[in-house]
Amino acid sequence: MTVRARSLRVFAWSLLVALIGGCTASRPATSEKPGEPVDPFPPATPQRVVEITRRIFPAVVRLDVAQEVYRDGKRTFERGIGSGVIIDEQGRILTNYHVAGRAAEIYVTLFNKERVPATLVGDDHWTDLAVVQMDMDVIRSRNIDFAHAELGTSSNIITGQDVIAVGTPFGLARTMTLGIVSNNERTLYPQQVTIDEFETAEFDNWIQMDTPINPGNSGGPLVDLDGKVIGINTRGGAQNLNFAVPIDTARDVVAQILASAAPDHRGHVTRADLGLSFKPLQDLESFYNIDINRGVLVDSVARFSPAHAAGVRTQDILLAVNGEPINVRFPEELAPARKRIARLPLGKPVTLTVRRGSETLELTTIAEKLEGAVGEERELKLWGASVRDVTRAYANEQNLDDARGVVITTLSPGYPAAQATLRVGDVIRDVDGSAVEDLEAFMTAYDKSVTAKSPRAVLGVQSGRNRRTVVLKLTYSD
């Protein structure tokens, strides 16, 4: 039987069982006979594939999401669809950041066609993960049943093992695809992966598989042949290049999101940052006269960063962090190295052992909280603009003198900000003579001006390397 014929046969069986299986949940697939040894990598027989599909389908949901975006100086919403998997009996759903991150409105369609509202518990663009909570009051009031998936582990995934990807591609009903793991520690280095403008895939390698991931499939589970979730589908492409976030990564992220979430704010993952970018030492050991599998090359040092303050330089070899060796010879070792830095305690001294030429130096610094390049964004309705907090990463990218102020992201034609010749990318550093350190300070100054109905606002603006003064003429409706 050809691979195509086999795939069609499996798909047909899966579709048939999905239609007649209902919403019942069964125990994990194990050995058929009690006491018989369990195969760690069971074969993808049609019977097993159908059974696993029948069990996982009730836990997979469709997500209809309205995400917060800013256009033409206004806060608005962009609607999209994606997939998710229910991970516990409390009705929590694990999905991608690019599906539900920044969500203002979420509706969940369950396997039994019931549609219930949900809220975003928290998100983490660095791993492309988000946690969504179904409205359990609605679930209970309507007596809705649902099933949840069993989470496995991604630590023992091997190349070549059979896996099943499940989701709701293109907004269609649940679909499964069968394939194999192509690589269990895929890195896309030196490519920098982003979600819109948000950084991702920095701290963990992905699972690569040949199971197709189509639009709308993102956020669905990648399942092994024991029926356990081993990854969260994140993106797909041509030539069988499809990827999933390992479930071990997701477990850690979910735990931190749930621990930090509160009624008045979303959960998040806190990471440390030293301001270092690394490069693998493969084929460079002889040039730097260093032993193989020892250290990692410092590719760049960010301004304003702890590493910069400590005196770390580009082309130093970082040998150890707090006395623990750090080694990156190959690209797939970069993510674990970054993760070690990210797990450093904030505000505590960090000792960096570096090799510079023939010298070995001990440098000390303090780890700071990691910030992405994209800061928090707000709408200035009266001025006709939207602004973001200037982060250290953004200030470095734009060669700003420091990370003070807010940056203009969008403008509404005809409103005071546009009429005053402000431009997207301008950084507002003071308002009416008072310096603004960050978004919170700026919004305080903005609200004060609006409340007082000031006829004008005088702004100190940085455009590239130039400084200028901009006057906004303001009018107010009764």
What positions carry a catalytic annotation? 98, 128, 218
Distances (CA, A) of 32 to 29, 35, 224, 342: 8, 9, 17, 44
b vs e for 410-440, b when ≥16 Cβ sit within 10 Å of the residue's Cβ? bbbeebbbbebebeeebbbbbbeeeebebbe
- For 202, phi then psi, to 5°, come to -90, -35
77-242-178 Cα angle (round to 5): 110
Query: Encoding tokens for residue 389?
Result: 């907090």
Going by their DSSP bridges, the two strands 150-151 and 228-235 should be labelled as parallel
C-alpha angle 310-316-321 in degrees, rounded to nearest 5 = 60
Please report, for residues 8, 94, 306, 317, the alpha-carbon distance to residue 365 in angstroms, rounded to integers and kept in the order given: 59, 36, 6, 17
Please give the structure tokens belonging to residue 456.
């004008």
Q: Comparing C-alpha atoms, which of 472, 476, 463, 379 is closest to residue 420?
A: 472
145 secondary structure, DSSP code: -
- Whether the CB-CB separation of 363 and 301 falls below 8 Å is answered with no
In DSSP terms, which residues pair with 60 in a beta bridge? 85
Q: Report which of 340, 351, 354, 341 is spatially closest to residue 294, judged by C-alpha positions.
A: 354
Cα pseudo-dihedral 361, 365, 371, 372, rounded to 10: -10
